[in-house]
Structure formats: C-alpha cells, structure tokens
Amino acid sequence: MNWPHKDLIGIADLEAEEITTIFDLAPNFKEISRRDIKKVPTLRGKTVVLIFYEASTRTRLSFEIAAKRLSADTVAISQTGSAFQKGETMMDAAKNIMAMMPDCIVMRYPYAGMLPRLAKELPCSVINAGDGYHEHPTQALLDMYSMREHFGALKGLNVVMVGDIMHSRVARSNVYGLKKMGARVTLVGPKTLMPPGIESWGAAVSTEFDPVIPDADVIMMLRIQKERIAEHLFPGDREYSSFYGLGKARVAMMKKDAVIMHPGPMNRGVEINSDAADSKRAIILDQVENGVAIRMALMYLCLGGSNVD
Amino acid sequence: MWIKGGRVIDPATKKDAVADIEIEGGIIKDIRQSAKAAKKSECIDATGKWIIPGLIDMHVHFREPGFEYKEDILSGSMAAAAGGITTAVCMANTRPVNDNPSVTGHIMKKVSDAGIIRVLPVGAATKNMEGRELSEMGLMKKAGIVAVSDDGNPIESAAMMRRAMQYASTFGLILMSHCQDRTLSGKGVMNEGRLSSRLGLPGIPNIAEDVMVARDIMISAELGIPVHITHVSTHGSISAVRDAKKSGVPVTCDVTPHNLLLTEERVRTYDTNAKMYPPLRSEADRQALIDCLKNGTVDCIATDHAPHAKDEKDLDFDLAPFGVTGLQTLLPAILKLHYDCRIPLMNILAMVTINPARILGIEGGRIDKGGRADIAIVDPKAEWTLTEDMLVSKSKNSPFIGWKFKGRVTTTIAAGKVVYKA
Ligand SMILES: [Zn+2]
C-alpha cells in the first residue's frame, strides 16, 4: 500500500482516491471488531499517544479502541482548559512528548493552527481529532463511510446538514469531503450560525429546513451548544427546535430511504427528538461502530502497518 | 558638523536638490548649494545618498514602564534610530498607564537618560484607559504629552468620546482614536471572511472598525474639533475619512505599513507575527488604502510598533498577543510603496515627516534653516533582505522577516548628534 501521508490534519489535504482507499480498507477492520478476539498484530510495538485538551469521551475512546485492536500501546493524556498557557508552550509540550518516541500522536485541541505546525515539526504521525473551528477529519470520514455503506456510493447523494455550521469543524470537514466525493451538500441554519464567506464553500445554503427535507438522502443534525445561546446567537431551545429541530413531523416529510445522522453527543429535545434519534432511519450507532474501523484503517495507513489478518 | 553632497529631499519646504548641510548646537545652521564646503569640523560624505528629515512615527509602544522585557525606552529608541526615526510618539498602555503627570514625568526622564531620539508620550484620554473618567490631560500636557488616546482600549461610550475630544482640545491636544467596536470584534483574531472560516479562526469583521470611525467623524463634525483616526485598515473607514475630509470635517488618519503591504493571506500558515489589531485585511481593503494613499486621504504612515516577547508570540494564534514591530521597516516599506505604487517620493515622505508634525503640533519633520537637526541619510540603491539578527528591538515579531527591500538608512542624526550609523 502506497500511502503518501504521515499525518491527517484535514480532509482538505486528501484526494478523492485517498478517501476511497480508506473506505475500501474499512470493512476488513470492521470485521476484526466483530470477532471474538478483537485484536490483530498490525501495529505491535508501536506507541500511540492520545492527547485530549478538550473533553471528548467518545472520540477518545474510539481512537483508543482502534489503536488497541491493532495491538499498539496507547497512552492517554487529558487536559482540559489551558494549563499550557501558563508557562509551557504547546511546542515545548510536544517536544517533550516527542522525546519519548511515540509513533503517533492523536490530538484534540481547542485552537486551530497548532496541529499543522506539530505535523510539520514532529517526525511521528499526527492525527487531528478535532482542532478549534478548523477540522475534524476522522469524524467526516466515518460519516461519509456510513453514508457510502448505506447507499453504496456517495456520488449524487444529497446531504443536508443542519445547525451550527459556523462553529462546527464536523460540518467543515464533511463539506470538503462530500464535495470531493461528488455529493451535493445543503447547509441549513439561522444566519447567526452561518460562517462568513459560506457562499464560497460550494454548498447550497438555506435558512429554512422544511423545503429541503423531501429531497434529502441524508439529514445530518449538528450538536447545538448551550454557550451559543449565551452568546445570543439564537433565542433559546424552544425557538431553535421549532425551526431547526428534527422531530416526528419532519421525519414524516423525509424520503422513504433517507437516513438520519448525528455526530453525537445528542441534545435530545433540542436539535433532535427521540422520535428521530431512535427511529429506524437513524444510523447514528452505525456511525459510532464505523468510527472504530475508520480510525483503524487510518492508523494502519499512516503508521505503515502490516498483517491485516 | 557638515553633511556633504547628498540629495536633500524635504516635503515641508519642497526642496529637492544636492546640497550641503551645516549643523551646530542641534540646529540646522545652514543649507548651501553643494560646493566646496568648509573643511572645518566633522564631515559626513553623503554623495549619492538622500538626505531626508528624520522620520516621525506617531504610533509606537515602548512598553516602559511595566513591560520592559518586551521593550524599553532605550531599546525602542535604538531601534527607531536604526530605522531613521528621530521622533517616536509612544502610547499610554504601560503599567501603570500613562494617565497622570507623574508617569509622564517618569517617561520623560527615561527618554532624556536614553538620550538617543525624541520620544513624545501620548497620555491616556481616560483614567486607567477605562473609558469612565477623564484623565489629567492638562497636567500631562505640561509634563510633556503631545496627544491623548486610550488606543487599544477604545472608548466605548459615545458621550465619553465626545467629552474627551472637547476636553483635550481645551489644551490643544489631539485625540488619537483606535476605532474598534469590541462587541463586533468579539473573540476575533484575524480578518473575518472566507479565509478565517477556512482556517477555523474567529474573525474580526470590517464593520467593527467602520462603525466607530463613522461615530468619531460625526462627533468631530459636530464639535468642529479635530480627531485623528489611527491605523485605518478597511475600505469602509478610509472612504468615510475621505468623504468627511471633502465635507470639511477636521479628521486625519494614519495607516500602518503592514496594512499597506500585506493581506490576510499572510495568516494562512498561522504565523503569529501576522496577528495584529486591526488585522491584515483583504486585497480589496489594501487596494482602497493604497488609492487613498495616492489621493491624499491618508495623512500619515505610522508603524504601531508593538513588540512582544518570543514566548508570548509562540502561543496558539488564538492566544498570542496582537501586535508586530515596525520601526526598522518603516522607511524600506515606504520606499517599496513609492516604487511599486508609483507614489511620488515627496508625498510619501510627507506622511512620515511633516504631516505627523503638523497634526501633533510639534516642531521638526523638516529640513530648514534654524530647525531641529533631525536627519536621516539613506542609501537608495542598497538592496538587502531583512533577517531577525538585524532587528535592534528587544522583540523580533516582524511580519517582514525574509523580505527583500531596496533602500536603507545609513546614518541617523537626532538633534545634531549621530545616533545611528550602519
Ligand atoms: Zn491601536
């Protein structure tokens, strides 16, 4: 396998064929997770360090399980807030970690810009587990993979993403990826949650949810953070869910074979109601399962593993 | 002291001719057609060089008192001298803030101890730059301030701004306004637009500057009192200044070299040496600034020299402090604009010499018999590349490191004394 990337910082850096390569490997790894003994020696002797400067139980767990199933040794560091601001700079911290010779650093970081720098400076693989408002490439890969698994292909799919587009690295990475793969994307939300220059993203934009529902193959609801209410970007849960929440009535408007997605964790009753979240159309748990497989495939590629079987 | 055989270029007197200059007691004693000047005393041969007035930078941060690890009056003065600057106007955001005559007095003492260039302090417009109570502008003026400004802590209340302008003008002081509506700039760290959204960095919209410029112009028009808008960066604000000037409002403005030469593209690598307020804007904004450089809307070019220590700038783009250095790149940047945008030398030199002197009501900024002997000698042919080692300031946060420039200061004379020699 000829994989040209040491790191994965953003979907923007990947070619469509490379995304396909990851997808084509994923079923093998998914199968491993379904075995009784869920472990292959692919990355035996490799060290993967998981650094999470923002709380994220599920992404961290997904990466950790993925690494362990490939027999890598994992070490996890969580640090919330900004301890490194008071004294040690991030670069110092990175150099210290590097002196312990890891093979891969998986990092979640509250600000944009550090991960590309780290990737450039450090000889090991650097995988972005979400940086600021920038990108969350593995989430986009697992989202796209879940769509491909369900529909067979991404080309021509009509994907609607709803919610806080402005602050969502998930939305950004998905737009880049889906466009590369030939899908159509529509972004929906109030204007206060739309980023500047959104016209240039190449996605359709709508402030109204209902009219775009009947044409959608995928409806992806984004998590709404309470702090956005504090920032006065919208008036509150009640108004938000009435215009942009996915509940029974809107589910009824969907195409028969359309699916519901959510990157989690969900705010039930805000962006999504239980009627939608627990319906047969929701493939939210498939997303979670695929997350492990996609991350295994990616680490395998970036760390140059062998022996998939 | 004699300076012989150089081309004297002075926007104030519109002089442009080869001449000899005689300096005595800190004053220009004589300017003569270049001939066989007397052999007595010290003589600088300036053949093939330009003799221009020592530059006046009307917006710098020298960080003393309080943040001497970033810069102090001595190191700032040395960097200025190395850039051909003989007058630097330093902002009040020190610790303590320069909002009373004892701080002003302390600064003036340090300036005279350093004894390199003329450093003129700006006093805070309000106490502790909090925008609530007027500062002791009158007493500070006696102690040496030449203007008032809350600079980076823009005055939010329109009523306070109006009062501050009125009160400042009582003492003949101009108010320098840093226009930023902080409810609009928010947590922004770079220009708001496609690129900020692409890079995942919070943006600062143009309107954050535009609305405050509009407000200040309206207050100035109503009172008939001058206001100086510092570091204008958007097409909206520069057009507002242009229109206001046309209708007779006594507004003036300055622009920084970095806003004239760089755009937000410079942020693409997340280099914190491209993080400043106002941020580097779009190419359209830059072009509007350049148009207004040509049509006379821009009065001055000022560096907003804002030194920060390496460790501080080494943080994430979101967390690093705003500001870049600029003293040593002021003249090279101006010459670049002169060559690239075909702006007459006289016009662009006026923006760093006589124009700021007039706006602030200070002496200098000209080469004239009987005037201050503040002079920069420039080798216009020197081609060179800026490296970090060349920077004299304690802080090296220049966005121009690695740039090639044409034209360089070889000697700086302040009050008749050679304070820099390449
Ligand atoms: Zn300022």
How do residues A181-210 score in pLDDT, each as one tens digit? 999 999 999 999 999 889 889 999 999 999
Q: What is the ipTM of this complex?
A: 0.85
Distance to chain A for B95, nearest Cα, Å: 20
The pLDDT score that the predictor gives to residue A92 is: 78
The pLDDT score that the predictor gives to residue B33 is: 82
Distance to chain A for B268, nearest Cα, Å: 9
Amino acid at B200: G
User: How many other C-beta atoms can be found within 10 angstroms of the C-beta atom of residue A87?
Assistant: 9
> Which candidate in B304, B318, B340, B379 is catalytic?
B304
The pLDDT-based confidence of B39 (bands split at 50, 70, 90) is: low
Given a contact cutoff of 8 angstroms between Cβ atoms, the answer to whether B1 and B416 are in contact is yes
Query: Average of pLDDT values for B261-275?
Result: 97
CA dist B9 and B178 (Å) reads 32
Give the residue from chain B lying closest to A200, CA to CA. B194
- Residues of B whose CB is below 8 A from A135: 200
Record: contact A85-B201, CB cut-off 8 A: no
Query: Average of pLDDT values for B66-73?
Result: 96
Query: Average of pLDDT values for B253-272?
Result: 97
Q: Which of B197, B317, B318 sits opposite A196 (nearest CB)?
A: B197
B194 in contact with A, Cβ within 8 Å: yes
CA dist B124 and B114 (Å) reads 23
A131 in contact with B, Cβ within 8 Å: yes
Given a contact cutoff of 8 angstroms between Cβ atoms, the answer to whether A256 and A281 are in contact is no
Tell me if residue B324 falls in helix, strand or coil.
coil
- How far does residue B129's CA lie from ligand 1's centre (Å)? 13
Per-residue tokens: A64: 């950790």
Record: contact B318-A134, CB cut-off 8 A: no
Give the residue from chain A lying closest to B200, CA to CA. A134
CA dist A108 and A126 (Å) reads 11
* pLDDT tens track for A169-182: 999 999 999 999 99
Q: Report residues near ion ligand 1: CB below 5 Å.
A: B 151-152, 178
A91 in contact with B, Cβ within 8 Å: yes
Give the closest residue to B324 by CA, choosing from B304, B302, B297. B304
- How far does residue A223's CA lie from ligand 1's centre (Å)? 38
A151 in contact with B, Cβ within 8 Å: no
User: Active site includes B16?
Assistant: no
Strands (E), A207-286: 218-221, 259-261
Record: contact A197-B201, CB cut-off 8 A: no
Q: Is the pLDDT of residue A308 over 70?
A: no
Could you tell me which residues come within 8 angstroms of residue A265 by beta carbon, excluding any fewer than 6 positions away? A58, A223
CA dist A94 and A304 (Å) reads 22
Tell me if residue B123 falls in helix, strand or coil.
strand
Tell me if residue A297 falls in helix, strand or coil.
helix
Query: Average of pLDDT values for B104-120?
Result: 97
The pLDDT-based confidence of A1 (bands split at 50, 70, 90) is: low
Amino acid at B398: S
Give the residue from chain A lying closest to B195, CA to CA. A197
